[in-house]
Chain A
Amino acid sequence: MSNLVLRGIKKSFGGFVAVDALDLELQSGEFVSLLGPSGCGKTTTLRMIAGFIDPSAGTIEMDGRVLSSPSGSLPPERRGMSMIFQSYAIWPNMTVEENVAFGLTLRNLPAHEVRKRVGDMLDVVHMSHLAGQYPAELSGGQQQRVALARAIIIQPAVLLLDEPLSNLDANLREEMRFEIRRLHDEFRITTVYVTHDQAEAMVTSDRIAVMNRGRIEQVDDPHTVYTKPKTRFVAGFVGRTNFIDGVRQGAEIAFDRFAVPVSVIENGAELSGKVTFSVRPQSMRLHRGRPQHDGPQVEVKIVERAYLGEFWDYVVVPALGSMRIKVTAPPLEVYEVDDAAWLEFDPKQMTSIV
């Protein structure tokens, strides 16, 4: 367990800047996800931490010691980390047991000690009954468990995961998310987890670093990232949302056909001029008649609808307005296209973004 500090990390390939002036600090035992679309630099960042790529600028430090800098880096085999790869990289020429034991035998542990620890580890990942099998005989999820066991058994200073679940089918993916978090709770290894799947990041992480174009746009715990996105990119990438433009007019923010007092909005007093808000589809409610609350509300018309089983997706437009708003409703709240309705906002769940 170690703390890990990335200071001003930059990596360019030719003229292309993959990672740009990135700062990130992980506390000992913390689980941080790098979340972003493909090409955002998250895997490059991970591979720099592992030592497979040298940074063009900046340093990577572990427990106060420099691992990587532009002038030289410690090779991956001497960092005491371990990594789980997108392809799992389970060696097909070795049995499950041999795969898991590999890191320990490299450390010259006595054979009986290796056997005992491998046995314990396979128990932890529920793979003891398959110890003698070869990887080709295992399912994707089982291979994933072997990869986890192989990485964790050496008690690495830092555990790195590179989109480990992207090759699994949906059900298994969900199961393995919890498995990864369970193992983290058990071993408390400082972990960096790269993914493009927000649900994965939210289930597993203590904090999520949302990356875009080689930069981190926001680092926060999952709840904050979702409810208080700081930038338009973060709001749009993590979950679905509406971007609603308004203008500060005195004590109110004026929107298309409705207004919200600044006093009920977080940091509302600081806003001025044109402002964009992120409003999640499930943070609003539809009513048949005018609601008896004082909250911000606007009369709307249903223009599109889709039934997704667990909820309805409606697209509404304010009466006489033009702004399209996505809103979700429980399965029993059925509206037809062209129905009139009232849309009620919750100002606490409206987040101004930059």
Chain B
Amino acid sequence: MNGGLDTLAQTAKPTLGRRLRWLEPSMVLWGLLIAILIFLVASPLVRLLLSSFQEAETGRFTLANFVEAYENLRHLQALLNSLELGVGVALLAGLFGVPIAWAISRTDMPAKSFVRVMVLGAFIMPPYLAAISWILLAGPNAGWLNKIWMGVTGADHGVVNIYSMAGLILVVATASYPYVFVFTNSALDLVSSEMEDAANILGAGTLRTIFRVTLPLVFPAILGGLIISFLEAIALFGAPALIALPAHFHVVATQLWQFFEYPVKVEEAAAYAMPLLFITIFMFWLQRSVLGRKGYTAVTGKGGERRIIRLRAWRWVMFGYALFICALSVLLPTLVLMQAAFAKAWGRGFSLDNLTLANFRYLLFEHSQAQNVVLNTFLYAGATAFAAIGLSLAIAYVVNRKLVPWSNVLSFLCMAPFVIPGIVLAIGFYAAYAPPPLALYGTATILILGFTTRFLPIAYTSSAAGIRSINPEMEEAVRILGGGRLTAIRRVLAPLLKKSLAGAWILVFIPATRELSSAIFLVGPNTRVISVMLFDLSEEGNFEVLSALGLLLLVVTIIIAGIGFRVIGRDFMLRRT
């Protein structure tokens, strides 16, 4: 028959048979994958934990790092500020996100798809860009809103000051309410109208039904969204650095950054990062258990038929509210960003003689580093997307096919970065790989590795879903006809997964192009990326060039998201995973 059968006689010797199986090239590959995962996920975390208990010079065990990190009252205050920020953002994001989600899912509010696109826009807008545009909008005195106020009322100073905790909460909430929206919206889409009809038939009016039936039903989902917003807010670095520092207060993220000012105190930073890590892990656990109580939610798989609630005149009130949120989160910020990007001086306002392309010319052709920075950004993001998807696909495959006995450990490691704030992960990476023997500090490698780890859960979720959707028999058919596992992957699995992998690629690529919290700790002089450059430019106060660069990033992101819509379908980013 074929060559394989000639060796049949030998397999009668049992040990040889076993050796043959273990020497399958694929088995070697699996071993390699496990090693990579330990390198990417486990080792930085372990390193972080160890560092927090080590003396900087000697490496001996000590608790001094924790003492030093917390004996300072300002450090404690920063922790409290982070919590205040998180709670404030979660509440405000709920106030923004829940009504819009309800209106889109359940009512006859006009221009629903426009509002939806705006929410997606808010999702795409990086929080630090939102912060920059809000500085243009609500900076004390010079901000647009203050100037308009002064012009209208004749007052001699503005009314809003973005450089405050309230301002920071507003900015972060405008960037993170889409999470609440997505959670609430998808839950509402699953609540059958029959639930509401049942309340109506018993005599409850529309409002009463909403507050007694509909909202309680989706409450776990709302809470889930709020928790995610909270976690986003406390892990964020960019927006707080842009707003809290000028306002003379710290949050955990900015304080952690301070530990990296010369002299770098990694051990103390590691110790100081622990509460953030444990709060995050705890909140994710909480979210899981809240969402996991199926009996309570009654939000089951079948959508059932949904009846649209007629709001009559109120539909315009609802639309006005949605428009107000869209204005705060997308329309106004984009407007002022564009104005500044095309302006000679943004403060001179909207006039033709203020228009210029000089900012873009400067960035793309004259600035000594900008070209490199833009190139770096997309290069690293692309490499990250390929690495994360390649790795997660291989692991999803091993786990799904149960090729190794401890496969659950693999999927756990893949998902673990999900509960690690980016900033904490970056410190772990720094502690593990910046010093010798690897001495990766300042290299592109450490950035790509860090990003890969950070976005591994996104890639893994998509890959695992893709692999699950393919019947193993597809692959067994290849093998029984004489093809090895690798042939099966190359000829059948890979072509079938193409589309979902393209979607996953975009889902990793977009956040990787704008990642700041982990990048800020890992970049070197030659490996800067757009997000870091934006941050540096803001320190120089050059808002025109800054806006031009931000706009550039936004446009590229929108183009890529647009391709994503074409390839994968409208909802691929606003999906709850």
Interface residues of chain A, those whose CB is within 8 Å of chain B, are 50-52, 62, 65-67, 69-83, 85-87, 89, 91-93, 102-103, 106-107, 150-151, 154, 157, 160
Bitwise, B1-28 to A at CB < 8 A (1) or not (0) is 1101101110110111111110010000
A62 to B4, CA, bound (A): 13
Q: Select which of B15, B18, B21, B473 is within 8 A of A86 by beta carbon.
A: B473
The answer to whether A77 touches B11, judged by C-beta atoms less than 8 angstroms apart, is no
Residue on B with the closest CB to A78?
B4
Which residues of chain A are near B304, meaning CB under 8 Å?
none
User: Is the Cβ of B14 less than 8 Å from the Cβ of A93?
Assistant: no
| Cross-chain contact A91 with B487 (CB below 8 angstroms) | no
A-side contacts of B483, CB under 8 Å: 77, 102, 106
A93 vs B476: C-alpha distance when bound (angstroms): 16
Q: A159: shortest Cβ distance to chain B, in Å?
A: 10
Chain B: residues with CB nearer than 8 A to chain A? Answer: 1-2, 4-5, 7-9, 11-12, 14-21, 24, 471, 473-474, 476-484, 487, 491-492, 495-496
Contacts of A52 in B (CB 8 A): 476, 479
- Min CB distance B498 to A, Å, is 8
Instruction: Count A-B contacts at CB 8 Å.
Output: 119
Q: A66-B11, A74-B17, A75-B21 are in contact. Are A87 and B471 (CB under 8 A)?
A: yes
Q: Are A77 and B480 in contact (CB under 8 A)?
A: yes
Whether B18 and A85, one on each chain, are in contact in the complex, defined by CB atoms closer than 8 angstroms, is no
| Residues on A with beta carbons closer than 8 Å to the beta carbon of B487 | 77, 106
B12, B15, B484, B487, most chain A CB atoms within 10 A: B12
A80 to B12, CA, bound (A): 17
Query: Which of A50, A71, A82 is the most central at the interface, judged by chain B CB atoms within 10 Å of its CB?
Result: A71
Q: Which of B1, B7, B14, B480 contacts A76 (CB 8 A)?
A: B480
Tell whether, in the assembled complex, residue A78 and residue B481 are in contact, meaning their CB atoms are under 8 Å apart.
no
CB of B16 within 8 A of CB of A78, answer no
If A50-B480, A89-B477 touch, whether A78 touches B5 (CB-CB below 8 Å) is: yes
Chain A proximity of B24: nearest CB distance (Å): 7
List chain A residues, Cβ under 8 A from B496.
91-93
Residue pair A76, B476 in contact (C-beta under 8 Å): yes
**Are A72 and B14 in contact (CB-based, < 8 A)?**
yes
- Contacting pair B481 A72 (CB below 8 A): no
In the bound complex, CA of A76 to CA of B16 (Å): 17
Say whether A65 contacts B12, CB under 8 Å. Answer: yes
Is there contact, CB below 8 Å, between A66 and B4? Answer: no
B6 to chain A, nearest CB (A): 10
Bound complex: CA of A305 vs CA of B495, how far in Å? 58
Residue of B4, B9, B21 touching A72 (CB-CB under 8 A): B21
Task: Give the 10 A-B CB pairs with smallest separation, nearest first.
Answer: A72-B17, A78-B4, A71-B14, A80-B1, A89-B473, A103-B481, A89-B477, A93-B495, A72-B18, A85-B473
Q: Say yes or no: A150 contacts B481, CB within 8 Å.
A: yes
Known: A93-B496, A154-B482. A71 touches B1 (CB 8 A): no
Q: B7 near A78 (CB under 8 angstroms)?
A: yes
Determine if B8 and A69 form an interchain contact, defined as CB atoms under 8 angstroms apart.
no
Cα-based distance from A74 to B11 in the complex (angstroms):
7
Bound Cα distance A85, B492 (Å): 16
CB pair A66–B481 under 8 Å, yes or no, is no
> Apart from A91-B477, A93-B496, what are 9 other A-B pairs with CB-CB below 8 Å?
A52-B476, A67-B8, A71-B15, A72-B21, A74-B11, A77-B482, A81-B480, A89-B473, A150-B477
Docked pose: A78 CA to B481 CA in angstroms = 9
In the complex, are the beta carbons of B479 and A77 less than 8 A apart?
yes
Chain A neighbourhood of B4, CB < 8 A: 74, 77-80
Contacts of A71 in B (CB 8 A): 14-15, 17-18
Q: Which residues of B contact A75 (CB under 8 A)?
A: 20-21, 24, 479, 484
Q: How far is the CA of A102 from the CA of B484 in the complex (A)?
A: 13
Bound CA–CA A76/B483 (angstroms): 9
When the two chains form the complex, which single residue of B8, B14, B478, B479 contacts A65, counting CB atoms closer than 8 Å?
A: B8
Enumerate chain B residues within 8 angstroms of A85, measured Cβ to Cβ: 473, 476-477
C-alpha gap A44/B481 in the complex (Å): 19
Residues of A within 8 A of B471 (CB): 87, 89
Q: List 20 A-B contacts (CB under 8 A).
A: A52-B476, A65-B9, A66-B12, A72-B14, A72-B16, A74-B8, A75-B24, A75-B484, A77-B483, A79-B480, A82-B481, A83-B476, A89-B474, A89-B476, A92-B496, A93-B495, A93-B496, A102-B491, A106-B487, A154-B481
Select from chain B the residue with minimum beta-carbon distance to A52. B476
Contacts of B20 in A (CB 8 A): 72, 74-75
Rounded to whole angstroms, the CA-CA distance of A151 and B474 in the bound complex is 13
Whether B473 and A72, one on each chain, are in contact in the complex, defined by CB atoms closer than 8 angstroms, is: no
A51 neighbours in B (Cβ, 8 Å): 480
Between A72, A81, A82, A86, the greatest number of chain B beta carbons within 10 A of the residue's beta carbon is seen for A72
* B495 and A103 within 8 A (CB): no
Chain A: minimal CB distance from B397 (Å): 16
Cβ of B476 and Cβ of A80 under 8 Å apart? no
A72 surroundings in chain B (CB, below 8 A): 11, 14-21
**A81 CA / B8 CA spacing, docked (Å):** 13
Note all chain A residues with C-beta closer than 8 A to B482: 77-78, 80, 103, 106-107, 154
Q: How far is the CA of A93 from the CA of B478 in the complex (A)?
A: 13
Q: A83's contact among B18, B21, B480, by CB below 8 Å, is which?
A: B480
Query: How far does the alpha carbon of A83 sit from the alpha carbon of B477 in the complex, in Å?
Result: 7
Known: A69-B14, A87-B473. A160 touches B480 (CB 8 A): yes
Q: How far is the CB of B500 from chain A (nearest CB, A)?
A: 13
Report B-chain residues with C-beta under 8 Å of the C-beta of A78.
2, 4-5, 7, 482
Are B7 and A73 in touch, CB under 8 angstroms? no
